């Protein structure tokens, strides 16, 4: 079994699941997953996890994301992007880039965002977008997100381009929806490119066409996505104890309680993910790999 990560450049028109289906065929394996769903309208970086690396998705998907987003003022759609049905229209005020920039300032930093009804958030075990397509009535609560950077790159005649650097869980189309309201009109997203997802950038992403030619040439080490976690190297004996589900003693002078760690053996192979118990000065196993990665 192949264990690793592929930084795929998802094209417009395909769902994230479509990309997974293609890679399952290329690698002739079922155990494949992705981090950070991209809608069919969107293109860009889509990290794909192969084999045992799928167990690292929850950690690899916690990094900062970067996007370039195009928007149009004056229209609101049910999906908050160009693929949906128009539900409202309004006049577009005469706006300069400087005026829009003033409004953008209120969206930077820690904000609360109401996700799109057509998001992949689970509502009682059902994806929100499935309920929305069934015209079911439900409310998604606001959630805290962080907008690290928000720049207006271009604007003319009601259309513009934004550069966004944000935390996991941020919905760019919802950000554009709220921007339209703050500008006294409506707005919907017309195109989106994810240029970065954690350590994975668009410049290093591989197209499906190139991947088809040499699928093994683009498989990255499984631990590339978790470089943000503190690295701890342990003896083979301690690694064996962790694999058996047993805690091992560790001083951890500079570690915080319950800090998540990436554990390596002395040969520098990833053996798993563990947590540091500061109260008892031990490392407790969390996700260990029988086969080192």
pLDDT at position 125 is 80
In the 3-class helix/strand/coil scheme, how is 168-182 assigned residue by residue? CCCCHHHHHHHHHHH
Tens-digit pLDDT string for the chain (293 aa): 899 999 999 999 999 999 999 999 999 999 999 998 899 999 999 999 999 999 999 888 888 999 999 999 999 999 999 999 999 999 999 999 999 999 999 999 999 999 888 777 888 788 877 877 888 877 788 899 999 999 999 999 999 999 999 999 999 999 999 999 999 999 999 999 999 999 999 999 999 999 999 999 999 999 998 998 999 999 999 999 999 999 999 998 889 999 999 999 988 899 999 999 999 999 999 999 877 66
Show Cβ contacts of residue 167 under 8 Å, excluding neighbours closer than 6 positions. 64, 65, 145, 146, 147, 148
- Measured between alpha carbons, how far is residue 60 from residues 150, 158, 173 in Å? 23, 37, 23
Whether 81 is a known active-site residue: answer: no
pLDDT at position 247 is 96
d(CA 106, CA 103): 6
- Are the beta carbons of 64 and 150 closer than 8 angstroms? no
What domains lie within the chain, and their CATH numbers?
4-63+199-225 (3.30.2350.10), 65-196 (3.30.2350.10), 229-288 (2.30.130.10)
- Measured between alpha carbons, how far is residue 177 from residues 45, 79, 153, 171 in Å? 23, 10, 18, 10
- Are the beta carbons of 36 and 192 closer than 8 angstroms? no
Name the nearest CA neighbour of 171 among 113, 123, 111, 106: 113
Catalytic position from the list 18, 39, 223, 291: 39
User: Residue 70's beta-bridge partner residues?
Assistant: 161, 191
d(CA 24, CA 208): 12
pLDDT at position 293 is 62
pLDDT at position 61 is 82
């Amino acid at each position: 079994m192949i264990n690793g990560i592929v930084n795929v450049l998802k094209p417009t028109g395909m769902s994230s699941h479509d990309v997974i289906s293609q890679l399952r065929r290329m690698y002739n394996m079922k155990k494949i997953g992705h981090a950070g769903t991209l809608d069919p309208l969107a293109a860009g970086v889509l990290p794909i996890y192969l084999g045992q690396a799928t167990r690292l998705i929850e950690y690899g998907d916690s990094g900062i994301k970067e996007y370039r987003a195009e928007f149009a003022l004056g229209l609101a759609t049910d999906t908050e992007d160009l693929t949906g049905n128009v539900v409202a229209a309004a006049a577009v005020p005469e706006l300069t880039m400087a005026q829009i920039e003033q409004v953008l300032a209120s969206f930077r930093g820690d904000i609360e965002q109401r996700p799109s009804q057509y998001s992949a958030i689970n509502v009682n075990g059902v994806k929100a977008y499935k309920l929305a397509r069934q015209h079911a009535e439900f409310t998604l609560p606001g959630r805290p997100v962080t907008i690290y950077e928000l720049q207006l790159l271009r604007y003319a005649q009601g259309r513009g381009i934004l550069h966004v650097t944000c935390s996991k869980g941020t919905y760019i189309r919802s950000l554009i929806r709220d921007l339209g309201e703050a500008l006294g009109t409506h707005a919907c997203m017309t195109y989106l490119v994810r240029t970065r997802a954690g350590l994975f950038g668009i410049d290093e992403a591989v197209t499906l066409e190139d991947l088809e030619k040499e699928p093994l040439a683009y498989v990255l080490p499984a631990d590339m996505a978790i470089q943000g976690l503190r690295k701890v190297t342990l003896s083979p004996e301690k690694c064996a104890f962790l694999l058996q589900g047993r805690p091992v003693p560790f001083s951890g002078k500079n570690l915080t309680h319950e800090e998540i760690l990436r554990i390596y053996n002395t040969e520098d192979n990833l053996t798993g993910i563990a947590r540091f118990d500061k109260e008892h000065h031990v490392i407790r196993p969390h996700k260990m790999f029988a086969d080192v990665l």
